Amino acid sequence: MSEKKKELNEIKNLRSKPKKTLRVTSASLESIIYKPFKVLDHGFIRVIDYMGDDSAIVQSARVSYGEGTKKVSNDSGLIRYLMKNWHTTPFEMCEIKLHIKLPIFIARQWIRHRTANVNEYSARYSILDKEFYIPKAQNMSSQSKTNKQGREGSLSKKDTKKFLEILKDDAERNYKHYEDMLNEKQNGEIKNENKKGLSRELARINLTLNTYTQWYWKIDLHNLLHFLYLREDTHAQYEIQAYAEIILNKIVKRWVPHTYNAFKEFQLESFNLSRTATEIIKQRLKGKKISYEKSGLNKREWNELTRRFGIK
C-alpha cells in the first residue's frame, strides 16, 4: 500500500470512531477534523484537535466580568465588544492543534511566533520526504523596486522557465546526494550493503530551503488571530499567506464564526489612523483641505491614507 493510501486509510479510520464527550463541541469543525486542506504543491493543513468555541469565549468573559456582561444581550455582541476593546484573555481560552506540512523557508518565518507549542519532524532522527516547493509560473515574480521585501511584476517567459528548472534540478540533485551520503532511502532500502552512511543530522545540511517539513502546531485563539493578522496580510510572503488564508477561511470561520466576523471588522479590515491622520480626516470632514506638504505625514503615509479614503 502506498504512503498516500496509508494516510487516507488512517484518516478514514480516525473519522469512523465517534466517541461521547461532555465537552463543548463544534459540529462544523468536527465535520472536517483530520481531513487535510491542500496548500501549495505538496503542503497541507489539518485540524487534529481543538478546545472550546464561541460559547467558551463568552463563558470565560462572564466569569471575569460577572454581572457586568449582562447588559450585552447576545454572544455575538459580547464578542464584538471584547474584540474592539482589547479584552484578549477570553480568546486565549480556546485552543487548536493543527498538523501542517510546509517548506522549510516558510517554517522559518512561522516559528517566529513564539506563543505556540510545536513538535516538528526531526531530520536528526528520520529521513525527510522527497518533496520540494516549486512555485507556479505565475508566482515567479521579480524583485519589487519600491518594497525591499516584496515581489512585483513578472519575469520573461524564458527566464521563468529557466529558473523553475534550476529550482527543480538543484533540489533533486541535492536530495539524491542526501540519499547517497545516508546510504539509505526513506523507505529504509540500503543503497550499498558494504558501507556506512553519513549521520542523518549531517547529511540533511545538503538539502535546499524549499524541502518540505511537517509539524504539529498548537496555539490559543488570541495568538492564532495575531498570527493571521500578520501573515494573511498582503505584505507577508505569498507562500505563507496561502497557509494563513486556509486557516482563516476554512478553519477559524467554521470553528468560531462570531469571532471570525469580529476579527475582520476590528482588525483584519480596520484602518489604524495615526494621531496626525486623525486630525487630517477631522479637518477634511469640516471641509478644510490639507495639502501633503502641510500634512505632517511622509509620502508613504500620505499615499496610503488618500488611497484608502478616496481623497486627493
The interface with a second copy within residues 30-89 (CB under 8 A) comprises 30, 33-34, 49-52, 56, 60-61, 63-69, 71, 77, 80, 84-86, 89
Catalytic residue status for 112: no
C-alpha cell at 224: 492564532
Q: Which of 1, 2, 5, 149 binds a second copy (CB under 8 A)?
A: 149
Helices 299-309, 275-285: crossing angle, 10 deg rounding: 40
Shortest spacing between CB 49 and a second copy, in angstroms: 5
Residue 268: what are its φ and ψ, rounded to 5°? -65, -40
Question: E strand or H helix at 210, and its extent?
Answer: none
Catalytic residue from among 80, 200, 204, 231: 231
251 part of the interface to a second copy, by CB under 8 A? no
Provide the 3-class DSSP secondary structure of residue 147: coil
**Does the footprint of a second copy cover residue 177 (CB under 8 A)?**
yes
Choose which of 41, 75, 95, 245 interacts with a second copy (CB under 8 A).
Answer: 95
Rounded to a whole number of angstroms, the minimum distance from the CB of residue 5 to a second copy is 19
Residue 252 CA to residue 53 CA, distance in Å, equals 10
182 touching a second copy, by CB under 8 A: yes
Q: Report the residue from 144, 161, 190, 191 that binds a second copy according to the rule CB under 8 A.
A: 144
267, 229 in Cβ contact below 8 A?
Answer: yes
Which of 30, 217, 199 shows the shortest CA–CA distance to 106?
217
Return contacts of 61-65, CB within 8 angstroms, 24+ apart. 61/87, 61/90, 64/89, 64/90
Name residue, grid cell 494563513.
244
Site pattern 96..125 for a second copy (x: CB under 8 A):
-x-x---xxx-xx--xx-xx-xxxxxx-xx
CA 35 to chain centre: 17
Binding residues for a second copy restricted to 277-306, rule: CB under 8 A: 277-278, 281-282, 284-286, 298, 301
Listed ranges 2-10, 11-19, 38-46, 252-260: which one lies at the site for a second copy (CB under 8 A): 11-19
Q: Report the distance separating Cα 13 and Cα 43, nearest Å.
A: 22
**Least Å from the CB of residue 48 to a second copy:** 8
Q: Which is nearer to a second copy, 63 or 249 (CB)?
A: 63
Taking CB under 8 A as the criterion, the residue among 58, 210, 246, 247 binding a second copy is 210
Catalytically annotated residues: 231
